[in-house]
């Protein structure tokens, strides 16, 4: 076995990255090639992604990756879920909408009018999120003009290769895949008025999508294959969770905290529906049985508001040092309150929730940040307990991966509130998962997910946070 190199494009809600991954001979590492900020842009018809800039950054990053490492053998792309671009005659019809655009509420009403949510859940197994793609398609008039709808990683793969395909892990977040068979639910699409011609052929992670179009091969420097990975970022992240026990829970924590378990069978109970637990498709046909908790979004949006107020930058790590030093009790609020979903003045909205609950709003920014971190941790712990009850698995450890794993205050608070050890890292789980699935495809041999995870565990040591018990201060924070 020798070391092989691949390029991973990993697009989060606030920044994108291109990385070189090197795997083989016991080695698994990443080299950051480029990191670029991106986010929402307000247009006349609502909130969008600046897709043109995003795509340009991806191309530049790939060209730089090949310059640095000419031995790169393939490209894999992952991003946030649910959002899409519409194609007609090979052209992108319009800039993709951002899932935080508030227009989707109408789509929810119309879809549930045709298919009540309990029936929908038995078909697609998906938690209710107002931005699930099927609600967006329902009210997007441009769908009628489109011949294909492609989720963001599939859209980029199409622009790179000319091949239209839907990678299955991300396709499951549309709400239009059957939870049991992982195929398009054509009957469901038809009932809610989505033309089935827009649904492209499905591919599994590891499959070849196509080769770079000649003009892009020239720009990037080589003809390379684009390989399907777990193109939903959370699916890639879960590949690289070094699960240390069959009863381990995971939290993939970036903008969102995706909290749950990996299962081989769905849990389509009424209790799971009521708890709003999802069955997103994982790599190798696993189920990501999880619930979305609002994650670092609450902190990043607060920092953005404070920066606007000060007209100067606010250092998040300094803020967290201050938050860790707060020794008095801080109030908790519901991190998943829908009022916190849209971009905007986050501190005011959080303060309104705290006031509504009859508590005093923290006076300093440090105490305010502590309140946010404790509230996220409380939601994480509660969701782990629910996942355990619903699945019948006695969770014994929590793996926390992604950007949140660097936040020691959050990791400790999660351990304390869950009463379980938290194993933090790797921080770049998503890019590692992307790289590992490409590597496995290149090797062309059967390698179990567990072996991939063993390689992560051997190369990326975790940081352990044991619950500090008893912690009366924390237990009584209300
Ligand atoms: C995380 C994530 C979540 C999805 C949300 C919106 O980046 O992909 O899994 O629910 O973004 O797409």
User: Does 359 reside within a domain?
Assistant: yes
Choose the residue to mutate in 38, 40, 81, 254 for probing ligand 1, maximizing ligand atoms within 8 Å of C-beta.
81
What is the predicted ipTM?
Answer: 0.98
**Residues 173 and 269 grouped into a single domain:** no
Residues noted as catalytic:
233
Ligand 1 shell residues, CB under 6 Å: 12-13, 80-82, 99, 232-234, 254-256, 258, 292
Tens digits of pLDDT across the chain (478 residues)? 699 999 999 999 989 999 999 999 999 999 999 999 988 899 999 999 999 999 999 999 999 999 999 999 999 999 999 999 999 999 999 999 999 998 888 999 999 999 999 999 999 999 999 999 999 999 999 999 999 999 999 999 999 999 999 999 999 999 999 999 999 999 999 999 999 999 999 999 999 999 999 999 999 999 999 999 999 999 999 999 999 888 999 999 999 999 999 999 999 999 999 999 999 999 999 999 999 999 999 999 999 999 999 999 999 999 999 999 999 999 999 999 999 999 999 999 999 999 999 999 999 999 999 999 999 999 999 999 999 999 999 999 999 999 999 999 999 999 999 999 999 999 999 999 999 999 999 999 999 999 999 999 999 999 999 999 655 445 444 3
**Residues 132 and 250 grouped into a single domain:** no
Beta strands in 117-165 (DSSP E): 148-151
C-alpha pair distances (Å), 210 with each of 163, 207, 222, 236, 317: 6, 9, 14, 20, 42
> Which residue is closest in CA terms to ligand 1's atom 4?
81
**Residues 470 and 340 grouped into a single domain:** yes
**Residues 207 and 246 grouped into a single domain:** no
Listed residues 233, 255, 279: the one ending a domain: 233
- Number of neighbours of residue 447 by Cβ within 10 angstroms: 14
CA of 38 to the centre of ligand 1 (A): 15
CA 341 from centre of chain: 15
Q: Integer distance in angstroms from the first to the last C-alpha of the chain?
A: 55
**Residues 138 and 280 grouped into a single domain:** no
Q: Which atom of ligand 1 is nearest to the CA of 258?
A: 9
Listed residues 233, 265, 295: the one ending a domain: 233
**Residues 283 and 183 grouped into a single domain:** no
Q: Which residues of 123-153 are buried (b: 16+ CB within 10 A; e: fewer)?
A: bbbbbebbbbbbbbbbbbeebeebebbbbbb
| CA-wise closest residue to 253 among 369, 323, 335, 174 | 335
Listed residues 180, 201, 233: the one ending a domain: 233
Expressed as residue numbers, the domain containing 200 is 4-233
**Residues 337 and 229 grouped into a single domain:** no
The CATH number of residue 145's host domain is 3.30.420.40
How many structural domains comprise the chain? Answer: 2
User: Does 340 reside within a domain?
Assistant: yes
Rounded to an integer, what distance in angstroms lies between the CA atom of residue 131 and that of residue 134?
8
User: Does 436 reside within a domain?
Assistant: no
User: Does 433 reside within a domain?
Assistant: no
Choose the residue to mutate in 77, 237, 253, 256 for probing ligand 1, maximizing ligand atoms within 8 Å of C-beta.
256
The alpha carbon torsion through 413, 414, 416, 421 (nearest 10 deg) reads -130
């Amino acid at each position: 076995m020798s070391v092989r190199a691949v390029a991973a494009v990993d697009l989060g809600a606030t920044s994108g990255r291109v990385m070189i991954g090197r795997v083989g001979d016991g080695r698994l590492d990443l080299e950051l090639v480029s990191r670029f900020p991106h986010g929402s842009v307000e247009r006349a018809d609502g909130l969008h992604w600046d897709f043109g800039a995003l795509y340009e950054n991806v191309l530049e990053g790939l060209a730089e990756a090949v310059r640095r490492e000419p031995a790169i053998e393939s490209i894999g792309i992952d991003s946030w879920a649910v959002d899409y671009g519409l194609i007609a005659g090979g052209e992108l019809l319009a800039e993709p909408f951002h899932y935080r655009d508030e227009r989707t509420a109408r789509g929810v009403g119309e879809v549930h009018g045709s298919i009540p949510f309990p029936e929908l859940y038995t078909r697609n197994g998906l938690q209710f999120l107002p931005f699930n793609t099927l609600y967006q398609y329902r009210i997007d008039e441009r769908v009628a003009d489109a011949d294909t709808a492609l989720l963001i990683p599939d859209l980029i793969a199409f622009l790179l290769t000319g091949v239209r395909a839907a990678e299955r892990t991300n396709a499951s977040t549309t709400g239009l895949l059957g939870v049991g068979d992982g195929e398009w639910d054509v009957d469901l699409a038809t009932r809610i008025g989505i033309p089935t011609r827009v649904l492209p052929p499905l591919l599994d992670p590891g499959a070849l999508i196509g080769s770079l179009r000649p003009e892009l091969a020239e720009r990037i420097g080589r003809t390379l294959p684009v390989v399907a990975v777990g193109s939903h970022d959370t699916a890639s992240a879960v590949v690289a969770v070094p699960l240390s026990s069959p009863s381990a829970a995971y939290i993939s924590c970036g903008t969102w905290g995706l909290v749950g378990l990996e299962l081989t069978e769905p849990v389509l109970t009424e209790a799971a529906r009521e708890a709003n637990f999802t069955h997103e498709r994982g790599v190798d046909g696993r189920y990501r049985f999880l619930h979305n908790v609002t994650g670092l979004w609450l902190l990043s949006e607060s920092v953005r508001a404070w920066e606007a107020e000060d007209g100067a930058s606010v250092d998040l790590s300094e803020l967290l040092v201050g938050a860790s030093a707060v020794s008095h009790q801080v109030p908790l609020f519901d991190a998943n309150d829908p009022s916190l979903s849209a971009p905007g003045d986050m501190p005011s909205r959080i303060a309104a929730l705290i006031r509504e609950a009859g508590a005093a709003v923290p006076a300093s920014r440090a105490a305010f940040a502590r309140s946010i971190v404790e509230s996220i941790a409380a939601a994480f712990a509660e969701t782990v307990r629910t996942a355990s009850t619903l699945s019948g698995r006695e969770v014994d450890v929590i793996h926390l991966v992604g950007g949140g794993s660097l936040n020691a205050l959050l990791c400790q608070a999660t351990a304390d509130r869950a009463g379980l050890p938290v194993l933090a890292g790797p921080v770049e789980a998503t890019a590692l998962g992307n790289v590992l699935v490409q590597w496995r495809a290149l090797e062309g041999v059967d390698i179990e997910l567990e072996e991939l995870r063993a390689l992560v565990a051997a190369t990326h040591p975790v940081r352990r946070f044991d619950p500090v018990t008893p912690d009366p201060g924390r237990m009584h924070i209300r």
